Amino acid sequence: MTSTPFGVRLRRAMDEHGPLCVGVDPHRALVESWGLPYDASGLERFARSCVEAFAGEVAVVKPQSAFFEVFGSRGLAVLERLLADLREAGTLTILDAKRGDIGSTMDAYAAAYVGPDAPSPGDALTVNPYLGYGALRSTVELARSTGRGVFVLALTSNPEGANVQHAVGERGTVAASMVAGAAADNAAAAAEGRLGDVGLVVGATVGSAVRDLGLDLLAANAPILAPGYGSQGAGAADVAVVFGDAAGNVLANSSRGVLRHGPDVAALRAAARRDAEELALALRR
């Protein structure tokens, strides 16, 4: 819990380390490619190597909760330690759990992940707004009160996503309504001249969709988490084109593109530094 808003801390981290988020996605093939057993002990060694490589070296680390949950309570213990170790090192984290529900259930998710007594909080949480942006209200407010942030799924690059996100209603596309929701929640931060605490998840591989759907990402004053950079196909120049005038708010995520250099800690760190420098140059940060 901190009194400094998440958007302020994120901007500082991006300015210092470059606009790169390293995703920690310990799926079976990757863990085994490191020569580790695919069990809780291998997961722990994988996570420890990531802390050694990235703590104090990158702007943000984003653990994918599902790859820890698969090992039950032992996996969750590894995730908690990973988040705690990165927090102690001063490295920001986004917990990629994509929680989304309604009423008291969403209130409980908010308490679990961004509340003052959350057992393993990241600095921000990914959330799914497709039960309605308003269903996130308690989560947004609780995150803000504890100095944490949320990243709202807006325009994802999976082919199935377009069926929902590109759909047109009375107020434009569904994706545009998510951007509008973030803009409203970030209005006070914009008036203060700082980056907002409610971010948007927009894939770096969506091509012209941001423009085609008329999404005003710059006006949303939102940090933009952009998966798809690196091994998923988008280069730094592509990121700059996709996000246009809002490129300065982009935090590009790379998981496999960096993690494939493991288990050597020095090689992991060097790969992350290369990507951060490439992105900083392309996005002019």
Is the pLDDT confidence value at 170 over 80? no
What CATH number corresponds to the domain at position 98? 3.20.20.70
Q: Would you say 235 and 205 are in contact if contact means Cβ atoms under 8 Å apart?
A: no
Residue 40: per-residue pLDDT: 98
SS3 (DSSP) at 7: helix
Q: Is residue 1 part of a domain?
A: no
The whole-angstrom separation of Cα 232 and Cα 205 is 8
Residue 149: per-residue pLDDT: 98
Residue 229 token pair:
């950079």
Report DSSP state, residue 231.
T
Specify the number of domains making up the chain: 1
Residue 62 is a catalytic residue: no
Give per-residue pLDDT as tens, 181-210: 999 999 999 999 999 999 999 999 999 999
Q: Is residue 254 part of a domain?
A: yes
Give per-residue pLDDT as tens, 215-249: 999 999 999 999 999 867 789 999 999 999 999 99
SS3 (DSSP) at 211: helix
Q: Is residue 94 part of a domain?
A: yes
**Structural domain of residue 246, as residue ranges?**
6-283
Q: Tell me the pLDDT band of 1, cut-offs 50, 70 and 90.
A: low
Is the pLDDT confidence value at 157 over 90? no
Give per-residue pLDDT as tens, 69-97: 999 999 999 999 999 999 999 999 999 99
User: Which is catalytic among the residues 27, 48, 81, 98?
Assistant: 98
